[in-house]
Structure 1
């Protein structure tokens, strides 16, 4: 995926860290309700560390990701956090954490087997009495084809992006996301395209897999950019 490898020099133009503040506050509130004395946090699929910027104010964070270029970006923002390269489907750190956080990187689980493996990793690393949050972008029930346009920039670069989400085959477990990007830098404009696949599962599939792993579950609200709310999974591991 070019977005997390080749495009990392301008990744922060896509999603500035400050835009994560309200969302991260909702996750922190969820964690504090489920595990009020928690001190340590493991994030699976931490990416460039934009959630961790906010969560590290409360927790001691260990951040993992499959992409070394993304971890390098996170180290710039979060030098005090531990960073580890690893796949959320197979990572085993031989230790547990008070809370585990899985943000939108879980969307790259394209089959029930992949999703089950990621959930198992989270559960294994959740301490007894601890909690986990899984925050997919959408569920099958609320997915719809959409096109989003946005623009951003800094003193040296300007970016224009169109993101198109569509489902080639509603009978399978994934949908496509197309990114078309124009980047202007030093008076020159470059054009990029990235095709990605995201997993798409119903709330019932999610609930079943989370329960099979050993969690108890509830859905909690998360604020969206347009002021609306959607829901993510808050999970508890019994003590």
Structure 2
């Protein structure tokens, strides 16, 4: 099973330069606070859509993490960064590990659930793997209430190898009546021999209202609330969904 996007497949080895792990420290700390809010002690955490493990590298000092992602290439990146974590290839829509966890964390990989049916499946997966008294935390990039068209850029260099990456991301909504938005990515990728190539890729990601999110979470059996993200970044704080599984 593979992902449809090159960013998480052929280009996965560039991920630590495109989105460096140290940029995740603040949001991982905020997520850790929410994960620790369960009514039971939280030790074992399942992360669905863990990608290159850039949240995990900050969370692993506090929790025992099991990391699941659709992309084997991204998991290979994560294994190098998080050798002490358990890794599995899997789809958050149908994953069944046959065990439960004190908490479940779903970062922005949930954005790729672009229709309600897929989002319901992902939420059900989180519920099935969450122990009674545990908690699930979902961090979509946008809800209807927080979305605005925007662009961003970033990237970094690896001084040791001479490799470097830069990106431009432009997010907009082609059709306000559907449940997804579009992000156009342009990547400039410099190899160690100083050759540079350009890659363009279009991603579709979900856009649901807070009420729709809360309805899907409560429909799965969670007691859910929307919380405004605490961030020092110069952007609209995200809606984070905190979902407790009744004990």
CA shift digits 1:79-135 (9 cap, x unpaired): 111101100000011111000000000000010000000000000000001001000
- 2:75 pairs with 1:71: yes
Aligned residues: 239
- 2:195 pairs with 1:191: no
4+ runs deviating over 4 angstroms: none
Alpha-carbon separation, structure 1, partners of 2:237 and 2:209 = 18
CA shift digits 1:160-182 (9 cap, x unpaired): 21101111111111111111111
- What is the CA distance between 1:69 and its match in structure 2? 0.2
Tell me the equivalent position of 1:53.
57
Stretches of structure 2 that go unaligned for 5 or more consecutive residues are: none
Tell me the equivalent position of 2:233.
225
Indicate the RMSD between aligned Cα atoms, in angstroms: 1.3
Tell me the equivalent position of 1:88.
92
Stretches of structure 1 that go unaligned for 5 or more consecutive residues are: none
What are the residue-to-residue correspondences of 1:20-169 with 2, within 5 Å? 20-35=24-39, 37-155=41-159, 156-169=162-175
Tell me the equivalent position of 1:180.
186
- 2:221 pairs with 1:214: yes
More off after superposition, 190-199 vs 35-44? 35-44
Alpha-carbon separation, structure 1, partners of 2:126 and 2:57 = 21
More strand by share: 1
Alpha-carbon separation, structure 1, partners of 2:155 and 2:45 = 33
Secondary structure at the counterpart of residue 123 of structure 1 = helix
Alpha-carbon separation, structure 2, partners of 1:227 and 1:107 = 18
